[in-house]
Structure 1
Amino acid sequence: MALKGPCPALLLLLLVLLPACLALGQRETRHEKFHRQHVDFPKTSAPDARRYCNLLMPRRNLTTDACKPTNTFIHAGPAEVDDVCHSGGTLRTENYYDSKVPFELTICRLAGGAQRPPCNYRGRTSTQQIRVACMGGLPVLDGTNPGVLG
């Protein structure tokens, strides 16, 4: 016998909304946030660095409330980037490690104008060593990383 009335519809709604509510309750770790903000591998395709930055910055939620002034994207696998906190890096100070090898990067800088979305970025590609803050053997956000070593 099939159920009648609002109960089946309510049950279906709960089954659909429950996973979304659970996902919202889980906060991103500092390591996950580092990867979301700084690791893009394989590199997202774009015709040039400017368009790449204008595509990736909002896609990675870096322009939600305000335009982030600068951001570096690392085009290497997550495990390779994480290894900078181990054998792939050299301890410099406290919890900062410099990579032993250069990484392919895209550096996005706000191109003047509004500090509020929509944001407009300039982009520059390079291959350089990076500096990351590490906690528990993993790269994390600390407000200043990843840094690019000259």
Structure 2
Amino acid sequence: MAHPMLLLAWLAVGLALAQGQTYPAFVQKHVDYPRTPVAPYCDVMMQRRGMTTPVCKHFNVFIHASEDTVTDVCGRGGTPVPGRNWQDSVRAFELSLCQLRGPTQTPPCRYQASNATRHVRLACENRRPVHFVGML
């Protein structure tokens, strides 16, 4: 019986954190345009963007498009998801996916990188993205 309550508690925490993120924080975590030429890409970018301390973030997506293009998803470049503050992009974006490797969340953080071209779903406030919801 405690397990469903724990799940609800984590969901509430996640929603609170997602709603609390700002546009500048979204850009810091998810926009890299043009794609930064570093190797290994995810190890370097996750550290540079502050997602490896005090613990390693499990998963992150970098969008390789300009801030204006990404922000446009919250306007005419996106379609609303009914009942939510989410917008689905009308175009596909070049993405870098960073997945934490290994069982530990403590630095040094090592990531598996992969690339994809996908539509994205973003949470928007005041016509600006504040949370990366997912890929479509």
Shorter-chain TM-score tier: 0.7 to 0.9
User: Cα distance, 1:33 vs. partner?
Assistant: 0.1
Residue number in structure 2 paired with 1:22: none
Residue number in structure 2 paired with 1:53: 42
1:1-150 alignment to 2 at 5 Å?
A: 30-47=22-39, 51-93=40-82, 94-141=84-131, 145-149=132-136
Q: Which amino acid aligns with 2:135?
A: V
User: Cα distance, 1:112 vs. partner?
Assistant: 1.4
SS of equivalent residue, structure 2 residue 47 = helix
Q: Which amino acid aligns with 1:148?
A: M
After superposition, the CA RMSD in angstroms is 1.1
SS of equivalent residue, structure 1 residue 53 = helix
Give the TM-score taking structure 2 as reference length: 0.81
Question: Hey, what's the Cα distance between the residues in 1 that align with 2:54 and 2:103?
Answer: 15
What stretches of structure 1 move > 6 A for 4+ residues in a row?
A: none
List runs of 5+ in structure 1 lacking aligned partners: 1-28
SS of equivalent residue, structure 1 residue 108 = strand
